Structure 1
Amino acid sequence: MAERKPINAQNYHRLVVKVGSAVLSGAKGRQQQLEIAAQIAALRAEGREVVLVSSGAVATGLSKLGFKERPKTMPGKQALAAVGQPTLMYLWEQAFSWYDLKVAQVLLTAEDLGHRQRYLNARQTLETLLEWGIVPIINENDTVMVEEIKFGDNDQLSALIASLVGADLLILLSDIEALFEADPRTHPEARPIPFVERVDAAVLRMAGDSPGRVGTGGMKSKLLAAEKAQAAGIPTLLLPGHRPQSISQALRGEPVGTLFAGGSRRYSGRKLWLYQLPKPQGEVVVDAGAAQALRQGGASLLPAGILEVRGQFGVGEAVRCLDTEGSLIGIGLVNYSASELSRIKGRKTREIEALLGYKNTDEAIHRDYFALASELE
């Protein structure tokens, strides 16, 4: 079992705090919401900036309407989110008003962060809110989300937000005390793990696939979020959301929850954004020569190396690059649309203008806009 490294709380100026549905639901949910607001207010009083990612719209709608269980259809879940989101924000606004803190609602979809300009717009908005001393409260826009534009859950969203705002620390408040050697619900003898140097396959095996009893995530989802944060060099604290002082205790170095090391930043800027994209818009299959050049030579992808184009995407959108065995090489931004690449695939760069009537660039994907998957394993 890894020994917990000391925490230097002075390094953590900007924090992203994610609260799960299971923490905010049930008989004690409102009290826990008030206590979390108190903890965030204490962080603000210490001069820290905080972005809150809050689940709970669907669960709040469920409670408000008196339903016994969630609808199984997507429109039903979306309708519940529409009912619950205003109440959820009202409750947060009330909780923070005790500390003279103002809040702002920010609803996002994976499509928003998958588009580079909208990603930058979201970052600018959040930066402005923080500059104004406002607590941004972010949730996935469940009312309009469909499977193709869904983050997966708010654990994943919180990791993306941490990268988006350049956070120093990601905090996941859960209904579970910490990461355990095995699922404590089925293995009561399992011991908590205080520190994780790196989220790898062995660590992922410690988590079951079962989601929480109220939310859509589970321990595996939280580990994947910590893995995303590590790629950006951001440490993650997994803490018990029902404990009133868990954040301050952890920042004082007390043995609460699990700390995931941030490590060295592997990517930044556009390449970090590419790596963390929730849903690339399509795929291109490349030949063996192009695959080798991308993996080993740091080269750009030329149309001549493309064998197949899959899906519909426009110029500047993200696509997955696959080899002929179907293995992921990396993710990049294309300089041509799917229809254009279909016309110029396998052809020399000197033929592009004759085939299309124009030429944007020689490269289908420039190396500066390509994130190699193997470097992130």
Structure 2
Amino acid sequence: MVVYRNAQNTHRPTKSSLTLVIKVGTSSICDEKTHYPLLGNLSRIVETILELKRKGHRIVLVTSAAVGTGLRRLNLNEKPGKLAAVQAIAAVGQGRLMSMYDDLFGQFNQPVAQILLTRNDLADRSQYLNAVNCLEQLLDMGVVPIVNENDTISVSEIKFGDNDTLSAITAGMVKADYLFLMTDVDCLYTDNPRSNPDARPVHVCEDIDALREEITVTSPGSALGTGGMVTKLVAADLATAAGVTTVIARGSTPESILPIIADDKSAPAHTRFVAKPKPLIDRKWWILHGLHTAGTIVIETDVGESIADGAARSGSSGASLYAHSVTKVEGNFVEHQAVRLVVQHTDNGVTDFVTVAKGIVNYSAAEIIRIMHARESDIIDSLGYKDADCIIHRDNMATSL
């Protein structure tokens, strides 16, 4: 794989009207020390979005900085460690943040809409589809949806973790052509360019797993933000799997988005992650990335079996998962929750655990433990009833290989 090459020959969306998701981080919105809003940056972001809309494109803005804006509003110097305090600060900041966006877009009579999400909002299929339909309707109406995580009620179990991940999931929901991750550097480097003068820029990436082995990304993000280059790689992985071309670019120059999507050779430096040619269908995408992972089911390979053989028995190759293939259950999940499927493979005394899929179970952890060594016909004997023939049906399973 060639990582460091010119971006001219990669496949790109060529439609005249594109759907773009633009994620703006806290460092592009608030000063890290004073927490004052960077109105110059915000104005340039708004002007760029308006120019994109004038060219016929549909735009979703994913924004951070609710906590940073709340700190400024409350005259606090730093983010507290107590969860309830952070949630309260986010509640104060979210209203102020939306007010700034509404004022800026309002100068040009551009309507905006606030969308606050948690992962729990997308865990139910009907709620997920409602969110998708709402976003689509707003775009059809010419509104700019402004998406943020609902930090006022989010806890670790239902958080996306960071807005990079949220932006990737949003891009998958609206079937975006591009996801732009705007940050405080112009592109991804093989190492931190501030401390390593030999760090090289990565212009194009077609294989994120291979890229991870060739670069060093350890930065946790700013004092106010939760992301960094690590989370941007995760987001790029999620988005490209949904067929979305993902770009890392400098947040202080959002106008660079225009030449990038126009394939202008004079476009500033950026990193482009090429979308997968065969993206996941909507339901499989929802299972993998919309549902909270409540537990783990382990399938152990037999002697002489490869990981691929174990994956085939797990059902991740297109078949359903049956009880006789399960060797271990972890977690205290219930029926209709999502679990990861892991293949345990031992070779020359070395044991590897490889996640191969994620699926929605028909039975609880306790029920699976009771029946996992029984044959299909023994489920009734084991439980006294049978809700389904298999542990996970193939229609409710999405591969992650």
- Check the 8 A contact 1:207/1:219 in 2, yes or no: no
**CA distance in 2: counterparts of 1:361 and 1:346, whole angstroms:** 16
Unaligned 5+ segments in structure 2 are 303-309, 345-350
Aligned match of 1:249: 259
Aligned match of 1:41: 50
Alignment of 1:111-190 (within 5 A): 111-190=120-199
Aligned match of 1:71: 80
Residue 346 of structure 1: how far off its partner (Å): 2.0
Counterpart check, 1:2 vs 2:5: yes
Match 1:23 to one of 28, 36, 48: 28
Structure with the higher fraction of residues in helix conformation = 1
**CA distance in 1: counterparts of 2:115 and 2:317, whole angstroms:** 41
Match 1:346 to one of 345, 362, 373: 373
* AA of the residue aligned to 1:222: K
CA deviations over 1:301-351 (Å, ceiling 9, x no partner): 112222333223333221011234543231111122334323332222223
Q: Helix, strand or coil for the counterpart of 1:248? A: helix
**CA distance in 2: counterparts of 1:171 and 1:90, whole angstroms:** 23
Alignment of 1:72-91 (within 5 A): 72-91=81-100
- Check the 8 A contact 1:286/1:322 in 2, yes or no: yes
**CA distance in 2: counterparts of 1:89 and 1:330, whole angstroms:** 38
**CA distance in 2: counterparts of 1:236 and 1:38, whole angstroms:** 21
Match 1:272 to one of 285, 289, 293: 285
Aligned match of 2:305: none
| Residues 11, 370 of structure 1: alpha-carbon distance in 2 compared, 3 angstrom cutoff | farther
Residue 168 of structure 1: how far off its partner (Å): 0.8
The percentage of counterpart residues that share the same residue type is 39
| Residues 346, 118 of structure 1: alpha-carbon distance in 2 compared, 3 angstrom cutoff | farther
Q: Helix, strand or coil for the counterpart of 1:342? A: helix
**CA distance in 1: counterparts of 2:59 and 2:337, whole angstroms:** 31
**CA distance in 1: counterparts of 2:202 and 2:354, whole angstroms:** 33
Counterpart check, 1:282 vs 2:295: yes
Counterpart check, 1:260 vs 2:269: no
| Residues 272, 344 of structure 1: alpha-carbon distance in 2 compared, 3 angstrom cutoff | same
Counterpart check, 1:236 vs 2:246: yes
- Check the 8 A contact 1:114/1:280 in 2, yes or no: no
* AA of the residue aligned to 2:322: L
Residue 186 of structure 1: how far off its partner (Å): 1.4
| Residues 76, 117 of structure 1: alpha-carbon distance in 2 compared, 3 angstrom cutoff | same
Aligned match of 1:293: 313
Residue 189 of structure 1: how far off its partner (Å): 4.5
**CA distance in 1: counterparts of 2:19 and 2:317, whole angstroms:** 37
Q: Helix, strand or coil for the counterpart of 1:53? A: strand
Q: Helix, strand or coil for the counterpart of 2:154? A: coil
* AA of the residue aligned to 1:347: A
* AA of the residue aligned to 1:2: R
Residue 277 of structure 1: how far off its partner (Å): 4.3
Counterpart check, 1:52 vs 2:61: yes
* AA of the residue aligned to 1:202: L
Aligned match of 1:337: 364
Aligned match of 1:226: 236
Residue 108 of structure 1: how far off its partner (Å): 1.0
CA deviations over 1:131-172 (Å, ceiling 9, x no partner): 222111111111111112221210111111111111111111
**CA distance in 1: counterparts of 2:387 and 2:25, whole angstroms:** 45
**CA distance in 1: counterparts of 2:241 and 2:287, whole angstroms:** 12
| Residues 244, 210 of structure 1: alpha-carbon distance in 2 compared, 3 angstrom cutoff | closer
* AA of the residue aligned to 1:95: L
Number of residue pairs matched?
Answer: 374
Aligned match of 1:359: 386
Residue 181 of structure 1: how far off its partner (Å): 2.6
Residue 287 of structure 1: how far off its partner (Å): 4.2
Unaligned 5+ segments in structure 1 are none
- Check the 8 A contact 1:5/1:195 in 2, yes or no: no
Match 1:307 to one of 307, 316, 327: 327
Residue 28 of structure 1: how far off its partner (Å): 6.3
Residue 22 of structure 1: how far off its partner (Å): 0.4
Counterpart check, 1:104 vs 2:102: no
Residue 203 of structure 1: how far off its partner (Å): 4.2
* AA of the residue aligned to 1:282: G
